[in-house]
Structure formats: C-alpha cells, structure tokens
Amino acid sequence: MSLQHEACEFRGTACLRLRHEGATAVVALHGAQVLSWLPADGRERLFLGECANFAPGSAVRGGIPVIFPQFSGRGPLRRHGFARALDWSFDGIEDGAAAFVLEQAPGTAEWPHAFACRLTVAIGAKRLAVALEVENRDTAPFAFTAALHTYLRVNDITQVALEGLQGCDYEDSTGGGNLHRDSGPAVAFIGGIDRIYRAVGAPLALADGGDRLRIEQRGFRDTIVWNPGETLAARIGDLASGEYRKFVCVEAGQVLVPVALRSGERWCGSQVLG
C-alpha cells in the first residue's frame, strides 16, 4: 500500500497525518514541521514540548523544525531564519513522500531573494526520511545556511550516548566557538552541550538504554548536537520543568560553509532516522 495522508488537527494546529507500513507521522503546515513519528512499533520517537507554541510566527519547540535561510544567530536575520515560523503549503504526494513548499512571500522579505523550498517527508515501518530542497529562482546568486533541527525523544538523558563522532572536529558553541576534536567513542549529555560537528559523513547511532536509532544524513555536511542542560533549560520559556531530560537534538545542518546557489541552481539535504 502506498503512503496514505489525511488532514488533521494536532495540538490545535493544521497538520497532515501520514500512514504507511503501520507507521504514522504528523506534519504541521506551520513550518512544515514534523511533530510526531511513530514507527510500526507504536512508540513515539520525536520530542514535542508540552508548552510548544503554535501561534502564527512563532517557533515550535520540538519535532523537526526546518531551519532556513540562517542557522542560529549566524547572520542578520531572525534566529534560525523564518522557515520554521511560517505556514508552508502541502503540495501533494510525490514518489511516496508528502511534499510541502515555501516560496518568496511578504513574510520572507527580510531575505530579499526569490527562492523555493521543498520539504519531503516519507515513512516506512522503521524509517523516517526528511529532505529539504532549495532552488534559486532569482536572477542573482544567493547563499544560505540550513538545518533539520531534529528533537529526538529519549527516556533518560543521563543514559544516552551518541556514537559515530569520534575523530570529528567540532565548534563548541558554548565555549565561544572554540575548535575541538572529539576523542571519545560516544558523546554523553551531562550538562549542556551545543556543538557543530563539521564534515560528518558516516551514520550515527543514538543509544538510549536498550534502544538504538540510526541517524544518517546526505547533502548536509555538519551535524549539530544540542541539549540545553538544566541551567539553560530553566531560562527557556517554552520548555516545561525537567523536559530537557527528555530529548537530544541531533541536527543535520549546513552551517559552517553556507550553500551558494546561482540562478536556477538547486541544493538538497536530507536526514534519515530508523
């Protein structure tokens, strides 16, 4: 059976529910943000904050926010860009994936370029695949940074280990952007962590007690690893008390070297979980 889809409301916001091979995903039109992913075993794999704010123009804490055209505060635009705060349009099912589009509009005026973003979401029994394509529809070149800011639900953050980054260089965003090389076999999440690993190629594995999740990315060269830790979490207004223990962000990103597109060119990056 092919991918099934239906419009639905989830936490009061307009969404599309996808079903395939016993798995379900919910994608909000707000930000084209995947909010929920239940593989066929029925266990939620994404974190969505209890206090997540779906008001127009706001960023929703959890799921898979689409970061475009600027990662974090690395440029003149609003933090993490506008794509996560705007409504996207559902553009149908194509090659077994639901497609959502965002194009130049009054809400994107802070970045004066003609562009088209296309986010596709596909699911299988044990797999979630999200791909972001960006097209330059302008007459002039432009450059951007982007990420799929995936919030992975975990049982107990003190037991979580992220494997596959040994030997990779990273910028430590908590330490003024200092460069380091990861020497340990796994990243642990004790205290806050905010790192941009560069040129990550091989798949990662998130071990959470007895559970393991494979994380693969293509097109995106960097991987951002983030959890605010207790102290910073207490200052994040849309994160309920103790919720920082329930997620780690493992983000597929193109941050350290922006993507430059000439007129008519396209770029694509993707993240596959499962």
Ligand X SMILES: O=P(O)(O)OC[C@H]1O[C@H](O)[C@H](O)[C@@H](O)[C@@H]1O
Catalytic residues: 149, 251
Closest contact distance (angstroms) between CB of 189 and ligand X is 13
Closest contact distance (angstroms) between CB of 132 and ligand X is 16
Closest contact distance (angstroms) between CB of 58 and ligand X is 10
List of long-range contacts for 1-5, beta carbons under 8 Å, 24+ apart:
2/93, 2/96, 3/93, 3/96, 3/97, 3/98, 3/122, 3/123, 5/93, 5/98
Specify the residue, 46 or 59, whose C-beta has the smaller distance to ligand X: 59
| DSSP for residue 53 | -
Specify the residue, 99 or 148, whose C-beta has the smaller distance to ligand X: 148
* Chain Cα centroid distance, residue 71: 11
3-state secondary structure of 205: strand
Q: In sequence order, what DSSP letters do the residues of 80-137 get, joined into one string?
A: T-SGGGSB-EEEEEETTEEEEEEE--GGGTTS---EEEEEEEEEETTEEEEEEEEEE-
Closest contact distance (angstroms) between CB of 92 and ligand X is 29
Specify the residue, 23 or 77, whose C-beta has the smaller distance to ligand X: 77
CB 221 within 8 A of CB 254: yes
Q: How far apart (Å, rounded) are the C-alpha atoms in residues 142 and 70? A: 12
CB 116 within 8 A of CB 268: no
Specify the residue, 39 or 49, whose C-beta has the smaller distance to ligand X: 49
Closest contact distance (angstroms) between CB of 149 and ligand X is 6
Length of the chain: 274
CB 253 within 8 A of CB 222: yes
- Residues lying near ligand X in the complex (CB under 6 A): 59, 72, 79-80, 173, 194, 224, 226, 249, 251
Q: In a 10 Å sphere around its CB, with 0-12 CB exposed, 13-18 middle and 19+ buried, how is residue 139 labelled? A: exposed
Closest CB to ligand X belongs to which residue? 226
